[in-house]
Amino acid sequence: MPPPRTIPDFEFAPAPLGTRVRLTTLLSLVAVVILGAVIAVLVAREPHPPPWPVFLVAGIAPAIVALICVTARIQCYRIAGDELQIALPFRRARFPLGGLQSATPDREALRGARKIVGNDGLRAISGRFRSKRLGRFHAYVTDPGQTVVLRWPDRCLVVSPQHPSLFVETVRRRAGLTS
């Protein structure tokens, strides 16, 4: 009896950073630099050293922005076995493909969405969101203009692979969807 045929794993790069993500990242970095410069000017003008919380804020703000930039980056979307894995710097988000009802490209998936918890544009748009059209959903997006919506009976996921149509075709085949 021949060995069972295995389906190879597929890896998809995330879409290049979209305008919204680039602007949010740039504005955040500029705000941190301006905050640091303002604090430095104010400290230089004072004859007495300011209280320690001023230095704490000046040191923590850039550290928080740097930490978010490092941890928010989506490295790849991987279809391995019967699950979709989203590779992030220190973890993998895993979504079993069993029970997947649909996978469709949707350039408007994030329109009108409100963040419940997560990152709304510093190197990525990720976390839990809510919208009238999609309900509650998880997002791992680098470009809101290249999104794909994956729906299960009990959850929804929005991702942005570099090649949405190829990603949709691959996910549908792997999940056993015919259309």
Reported confidence tier of residue 1, pLDDT bands at 50, 70, 90: low
178: which residues sit within 8 A by CB, 6+ positions away? 172
Sheet order of strands, 102-105 included: 102-105, 148-151, 156-159, 135-141, 125-131, 114-120
Tell me the whole-structure pTM to 2 decimals.
Answer: 0.85
Q: Rounded to whole angstroms, how far apart are CA atoms 123 and 70?
A: 8
pLDDT in tens, 39-70: 777 777 777 766 767 667 777 878 888 888 88
pLDDT of residue 5 exceeding 70, the answer is no
**What 3-state class would DSSP assign to 96?**
strand
Closest of 30, 170, 154, 10 to residue 105, by C-alpha = 170
Instruction: Give the rounded percent of residues in the chain with a pLDDT score beyond 90.
Output: 64
Do residues 142 and 18 touch, judged by C-beta distance below 8 A? Answer: yes
Output the pLDDT for position 111.
95
Output the pLDDT for position 153.
96
